[in-house]
A = this chain, B = another copy of it.
Amino acid sequence: MSLVQERRETRMISVGNVTIGSNSPVAVQSMTNTRTEDVAATVAQIQRLTKAGCEIVRVAVPDMEAAQAVAAIRREIAIPLIADIHFDYRLAIAAMEAGADALRINPGNIGERRKIMEVANCARSKGVSIRVGVNAGSLEKDIVDRLGATPQAMAESALKNIEILEDLDFHDIKVSLKASDVQRTVEAYRLIASKTDVPLHVGVTEAGGLIAGITKSAIGIGMLLSEGIGDTIRVSLTRDPVEEVRTAWEILRALDIRHRGPELISCPTCGRCRIDLFTVAEQVEQALLDCPLTIKVAIMGCVVNGPGEAKEADIGIAGGDGVGILFKKGKVIRKIDQDSLVDVLLKEIENLQN
C-alpha cells in the first residue's frame, strides 16, 4: 500500500535532456539568486545545486546582459537551464539564442501576437519548452476583477495562456499555479489537473524562511504529490537555494517517490539522553551530505532504547554515559568510546561504499 495515488497522466515535454511528464520521475528544480550576469557566481551556485541533487535550474533574465550571460553559464554547467523572463520577447529570443533549454514566460504578457509568434517559432525550432508560470499575485486584471485572486482565477489564467500557445501549434508546455498560501495553491493545482494534460510544475511561492517555508512547501507539494499531481517540483525558501533542493528531496523521500542519499533518523532527545545528540546529529548530517548510499542511519540518545527503536536502520549509534554503541539492524555490534562515536560511524559507512 502506498500513500501516493497513481500519477496523473500528462504529456511529455523536454527541458534539455530532462523529460518532464507522467512517464518520467518527478524532477527537482531550483533557481539561482545570484546576479545572472555574474557568470562566475552563477555557475558556482549552479554547481553547488547540482551536487545537492538539483536536476533543472532557472536563472532570472531581467535584461539583455543577463540574456547574453546564458551562453557562458550554459557551457559550464551539467544540468538544463531555464531562462525566467517577464514581458520582453526580445529577452526570450536572446536567451534561446544563447542556449537556454527552456523559458518561463507567460505569453499573455508578451503583447502583440506577432511577438508571441516569434517566441513560439524560435522555441519550436530550437526544441525549447515553455513554462507558463501563473502567480496569484500577478494575475491579469480582467480575471481578478471578475474572480478575485482565487484558485478559479489562477486556473483560468493558466488555461488562457496555454490556449495562446496551442493556437500557434506550440505544445511543449508545462504550467505552474503558485500562491503564497497552501490552500489556494493546492486548490488551483487540483482544478487545472482536471482540465488539461500539460505537465505541472508544483510549488508554493514566497513561502518564507526556514521553518515556515519548509512547512508550507512540504504540506502543499506533499498533498499534491500524494494525489498523483506534479511532474516537477520547486521548494521556494528565502534562503540558500541548496536548502530548497534538500527539502525537495526530503519531500520525495517522505512519500517514498524517489530516494537520494542516506536517511537520518534521530530521536528528539529527552531527559534520558546522556550525550549532546544535537551536535552529533549535525556532524553526521554534514558529513553525509554527498554520500550516495540510500541507507537508513540512526543517531540515538540512549543505549537501552536506541537499537530497538531504530531497528529498521541499516546502521546506527547510540550514546550512553561515556560509552556508546554501534548497531546494525537493531543488533549491537560493539561498544565504542563516546568521543569516537561519529568517527566510527562515518568509517563504517565509508566501508559500505567500497
Contact: B222 with A268, CB < 8 Å? no
Q: Knowing A226-B223, A305-B138 touch, does A265 contact B180 (C-beta < 8 A)? A: yes
Q: Would you give the shortest CB distance from A71 to chain B, in whole angstroms?
A: 16
Contact: B32 with A309, CB < 8 Å? no
Q: Name the contact of A138 in the complex, choosing from B218, B244, B255, B309 (C-beta under 8 A).
A: B309
Interface-lining segment among A20-28, A89-97, A270-278: A270-278
Contact: B219 with A241, CB < 8 Å? no
Q: Knowing A214-B211, A215-B214, A277-B238 touch, does A268 contact B247 (C-beta < 8 A)? A: no
Q: Knowing A137-B308, A241-B268, A271-B34 touch, does A254 contact B220 (C-beta < 8 A)? A: yes
Tell me if A156 is interfacial: C-beta within 8 Å of chain B.
no
Contact: B281 with A238, CB < 8 Å? yes
For A54, the chain B residues whose CB sits under 8 A away are: none
Tell me if A210 is interfacial: C-beta within 8 Å of chain B.
yes
Tell me if A236 is interfacial: C-beta within 8 Å of chain B.
yes
Contact: A31 with B206, CB < 8 Å? no
Tell me if A285 is interfacial: C-beta within 8 Å of chain B.
yes
Interface-lining segment among A122-130, A168-176, A182-190, A336-344: A182-190
Q: Name the contact of A251 in the complex, choosing from B34, B181, B215, B263 (C-beta under 8 A).
A: B215
Contact: A208 with B265, CB < 8 Å? yes
Contact: A218 with B208, CB < 8 Å? no
Q: Name the contact of A212 in the complex, choosing from B183, B220, B238, B250 (C-beta under 8 A).
A: B250
CA distance A335 to B308 in the complex (A): 60
Q: Would you give the shortest CB distance from A191 to chain B, in whole angstroms?
A: 11
Q: Would you give the shortest CB distance from A265 to chain B, in whole angstroms?
A: 4
Tell me if A158 is interfacial: C-beta within 8 Å of chain B.
no
Contacting residues of chain A (153-171) with chain B, CB-CB under 8 angstroms: none
CA distance A28 to B216 in the complex (A): 18
Interface-lining segment among A8-16, A58-66, A113-121: A58-66
Tell me if A18 is interfacial: C-beta within 8 Å of chain B.
no
Tell me if A46 is interfacial: C-beta within 8 Å of chain B.
no
Q: Would you give the shortest CB distance from A263 to chain B, in whole angstroms?
A: 7
Contact: B310 with A137, CB < 8 Å? yes
CA distance A208 to B282 in the complex (A): 10
* Closest partner residue, chain B, to A139 (CB atom): B308
Sorted nearest first, the 9 A-B pairs with minimum C-beta distance are A60-B271, A137-B309, A218-B218, A215-B250, A219-B222, A60-B270, A236-B268, A33-B269, A36-B271
Query: Could you list 5 A-B pairs, sorted by A, with CB under 8 Å?
Result: A33-B273, A37-B271, A60-B270, A182-B254, A214-B214
Given contacts A62-B271, A212-B264, 6 further A-B contacts (CB under 8 A): A33-B271, A84-B270, A136-B312, A208-B266, A219-B219, A238-B267
